[in-house]
Amino acid sequence: MTPGSYEWYIYAVYIIDKINRKFYLYLLKELSYILLLSLAILTFILVMSRLGKLTDLVVNKGVDLKDIVLLIVYSSPPYLTFTFPMAFLLSTIVVLGRFSTENEILALKASGVNLKCLFVPIGFVGIVITVVGLLNTNMLLPTSSNRFRDTLLNVVKKGIAVDDKEGVFNDTIPGVVIYIDKVDTQSKKLHGIMVADDRDKNLKQTISASSGLINLDPDTLDLSFILHNGSLHRWEKTEDAYRTVSFRDYTFTMNLGNMLPNAGIRKKTIEMDRKEIRNAISKTRDPERRYELSLEIYKKISVPLASLCFLPLAIPLGVKRKIEGRFSGVMYSLLLFVFYYILMALTENMGKIFNIPPPLTAFIPNIVIGLFSVYLLRNLNDEGHSTASRALRHFMVHYFEKAK
């Protein structure tokens, strides 16, 4: 096998392919570690906003820890919609930045390797993240929101639990004390009922009845006491009036929405599936609401695709980060995603004002990020020590000069 022969060429291609394969596996391993870690941390930070009220359910309402864990799990998919592309961007910049700092990128260049080969392993991870993100927004998120709602209703029922406690003053509902003398376990009929309602500081009322039933509406969270043969005592502080009413049948209703960790239990637009969104569009006549619903259909695709848009942007930012510090990758990724999120909000408002088609409005942030990525990719293999921040400044100066 002499140099220049066909067999030598095949052998060289084989060696290069083997080296590339080992490098790809090494890069995938490093990228996977940082990706999973950053995904867990970012999602946990966002979910923490709900942990305070969920903890209150455990400590003060006696709700099982199992239900709280389920609520946290079911509330994660809305946050995963954004943490998937954010974690991918962060992990790519951090890993490539470490490679550049430890001169591994320089070794690749010295070996004659084109840095665009980095698109192979990182692009594979980006495609996986995008597919998982699409499955999350279109399938997992609507299902988890339904599970979250059902679990939350069970938590509320366990929290009040007024129909299975005899001879106990139950104050789990804020501002309300309920006492039940006896409970028929077969028919769930209550005997010897007393309800003291102090929710309104200007109105205090006490209701007593010989028997009754309790019903909780799962849609409105209205707790209704259907009472028989009793009396109502009411003191109106503003008028300093005391009233007493006897009744044969009386229904006393209160809403338990303030006991929920969220402001309410109605589904948000992001939690709806495509069928529910289309049904909502057909039922509303508000043009602004119809636009928001239509836009959400396309955002279920555009937001997961942000991972692929960040791919050509993250590679040059990571490679060019050698002299900018160890934590600059985190700063760049956070700033870029904040910019992407602000761009989403701006284009959404502009779409409503100028009546831009929803598909275009949903994909404008991705298009902007993609164009900026193409600009940064031009000098990927250059040996200059220009930093990513300098590249950003040069891009802005070049853009404003062209604009003039």
Of the candidates 226, 255, 284, which is a domain's last residue?
Answer: 255
Is residue 94 domain-shared with residue 232, that is, in the same domain? no
Of the candidates 231, 255, 279, which is a domain's last residue?
Answer: 255
Is residue 11 domain-shared with residue 33, that is, in the same domain? yes
Whether 177 and 207 have beta carbons less than 8 Å apart is answered as no
Structure tokens at 266: 């109605």
* pLDDT of 80 above 70: yes
Q: How confident is the model at residue 263 (pLDDT cuts 50, 70, 90)?
A: very low
Structure tokens at 17: 């392919």
Residue 167 lies in a domain: no
Nearest Cα neighbor of 315 from 121, 61, 113, 59 is 121
Range of the domain at 338: 6-157+267-403
More confident residue, 333 or 113: 333
Of the candidates 205, 222, 255, which is a domain's last residue?
Answer: 255
Task: Tell me which amino acid residue 370 is.
Answer: G
Is residue 220 domain-shared with residue 319, that is, in the same domain? no
Is residue 322 domain-shared with residue 357, that is, in the same domain? yes
Is residue 245 domain-shared with residue 344, that is, in the same domain? no
Is residue 22 domain-shared with residue 52, that is, in the same domain? yes
The burial of 298, by beta-carbon neighbours within 10 Å (0-12 exposed, 13-18 middle, 19 or more buried), is given as: middle
Is residue 21 domain-shared with residue 120, that is, in the same domain? yes
Please give the average per-residue pLDDT across 304-320, as a whole number: 86
Q: What is the pLDDT of residues 280-311, one digit of tens each?
A: 999 999 999 999 999 999 999 999 999 999 98
Structure tokens at 295: 């836009």
Q: What is the pLDDT of residue 264?
A: 47
Chain length of the chain: 404
Is residue 303 domain-shared with residue 223, that is, in the same domain? no
**DSSP-assigned letters across all residues of 96-114:** HHHHHHTTHHHHHHHTT--
Please give the average per-residue pLDDT across 109-123, as a whole number: 81
- Sign (positive or negative) of CA dihedral 115, 83, 345, 274: positive
Distance CA 58, CA 319 (A): 47
Is residue 248 domain-shared with residue 271, that is, in the same domain? no
Q: What is the pLDDT of residues 194-237, one digit of tens each?
A: 999 988 888 889 999 999 988 877 667 788 889 999 999 998 88
Q: Which residues pair with 234 in a beta bridge?
A: 205, 243
pTM given for the model: 0.76
Is residue 233 domain-shared with residue 271, that is, in the same domain? no
How many domains would you assign to the chain? 2
Distance CA 194, CA 186 (A): 21
Residue 96 lies in a domain: yes
Residue 100 lies in a domain: yes
Whether 225 and 162 have beta carbons less than 8 Å apart is answered as no
Distance CA 106, CA 9 (A): 25
* pLDDT of 381 above 90: no
111-115, 175-179, 237-241, 249-253: the lowest-pLDDT one: 111-115
Q: What is the pLDDT of residue 258?
A: 67
Residue 398 lies in a domain: yes
Is residue 248 domain-shared with residue 196, that is, in the same domain? yes
Q: How confident is the model at residue 316 (pLDDT cuts 50, 70, 90)?
A: confident
Is residue 214 domain-shared with residue 287, that is, in the same domain? no
Residue 169 lies in a domain: no
